[in-house]
Amino acid sequence: MAILKRFPMALMTGLVLAATGFAQAPAELKAKVDAEIKQLRNMSTDPKLVSAVKAYNSTPLSPEAKAMTNDKWHTLTVFDPFVRAIGKNSVSEYLKSKRDEVAVKIFVSGADGTKVGFDAKTEFWTHKGMPKHEMPMKGETFIGPMKLDNSTGVQMVQIGLPVLDGAKPIGSVVIGLRADKLK
């Protein structure tokens, strides 16, 4: 991936698209995703998100968060006190205000891949080891394949952007874009 740093952003995006399988999507859809990324890129440096991720990264996880696994997370409902506490925090409330007809799913992860906040309960507690988190943690943009999202029931393309403290990635923000609403 180090070689990607020498290529222009457009070429990097093309390589990432090819690596994720998204390059097989129609060119018109790719152009729409690229346009949406340009509009959403400011989330990487959004002061509220940067501040929240910095605070999250500098605070030790609670015993419950340390013990959380993706398997256990799958068993929890949105009414579970642990899930509700994250879903009602200030970052989550802020993310809910950022949703629109295109960006229908948004979540922020700390450096360790665990959730800082989300607009709705995510499928996974941690995205560590997954491209949607790992690429942004290298300062790269992730573009996933178009697929049916189980939590919303619509065709979606996920993008992952770094949360940046200056030029340093400190977390990731993943945004689910509703394919049928891309302009």
Query: How far is Cα 80 from Cα 179, in angstroms, rounded to an integer?
Result: 31
3-class secondary structure, 177: strand
The count of structural domains within the chain is: 1
Tokens standing for residue 73: 């997370």
Q: Given this model, what pLDDT does residue 12 score?
A: 39
Instruction: Give the Å distances, CA to CA, from 124 to 4, 72, 95.
Output: 28, 10, 17
Query: How far is Cα 26 from Cα 30, in angstroms, rounded to an integer?
Result: 7
pLDDT in tens, 130-145: 999 999 999 999 999 8
* CATH number of the domain to which 51 belongs: 3.30.450.20
Looking at the whole model, is its pTM more than 0.75? Answer: yes
pLDDT in tens, 41-53: 999 999 999 999 9
What's the domain range around 123? 2-181
Query: How far is Cα 102 from Cα 105, in angstroms, rounded to an integer?
Result: 9
Instruction: Give me the count of residues in the chain.
Output: 183
Contact 160, 126 (CB under 8 A): no
